[in-house]
Amino acid sequence: MVARSVTVFHHEEQGGSCCPLPFSPPWDPAEDLRCITATFQYLQASGWYWGSISASEAREALLKKPEGTFLMRDSSHPRYMLALSVKTRCGPTSVRIEYSRGSFWLDSISPSMPHLQSFPDVVSLIQNYMGLGHTPRGQPSNDIPPKTHPDPAKHTAKDSGVPLKLTDPLHKPQAFPSLQHLTRLAINRRTGCHSQLPLPKLLLCYLQDYPFHI
């Protein structure tokens, strides 16, 4: 599997965010609830969301895994919901997930990259950085392409960051995916047109409940 590269920084347990988002029109808080709820539903179904484990526990889980292995967990920083923990070539590290107004993106303290590409949910974000380029369907926000920001693949180590690639999710032992879910992932890897499949409506709904490859 080809994975995209991005640069992350060791600051999960420290400090604040990068520059504030530019001015934008009024936002309905109900959209925050819808977006955040959808993201956590996807994460619960994924099997690689580890919940409220600490950064040190995530490090221990990833320490002996191959480079590119990752998991999602709750951030220990009060201003953030989630953190991505990943095994890099320099060892396990974590990067916060930013959220604002229906969009998620990787946190960055690089002056040259104040905002990375953003997505309507966290699983779409992770899938993008794995190089799959898949965007979930069946949501109102899917008609709008991901917000474009400087390409993280062009970012270099001159900013003292850690080159990062995402290849394989690390499933939580007690939440290993069911055979049904694994079958759904296999189908999603081969088609994005669920409505054209000769399947009962109940099964089509099950596929659409998690329209991702990972």
Q: Report pLDDT digits (tens) over 77-105.
A: 999 999 999 999 999 999 999 999 899 99
Residue 58 counted as domain residue: yes
Residues shown for the chain: 214
Residue 209 counted as domain residue: no
Residue 44 confidence (pLDDT) above 90: yes
Q: Which residues contact 159 (CB under 8 A, 6 or more apart)?
A: 7, 110, 111, 112
Interatomic CA distance for residues 189 and 187, integer angstroms: 5
Residue 19 counted as domain residue: no
CATH number at 93 reads 3.30.505.10
Give me the number of domains the chain comprises. Answer: 1
| pLDDT of res. 198 | 87
Residue 183 counted as domain residue: no
Half-sphere exposure of 121 (CA within 13 A, CB side): 28
| pLDDT of res. 157 | 28
Residue 120 counted as domain residue: yes
Kind of pairing, strands 69-74 and 168-169? parallel
Q: Which domain holds residue 125?
A: 5-13+25-176
With bands split at pLDDT 50, 70 and 90, how would you rate the model's confidence at 151?
Answer: very low
Residue 107 counted as domain residue: yes
Residue 139 confidence (pLDDT) above 90: no
Residue 156 counted as domain residue: yes
Mean pLDDT of 184-200: 85
Model pTM score: 0.73
Residue 65 counted as domain residue: yes
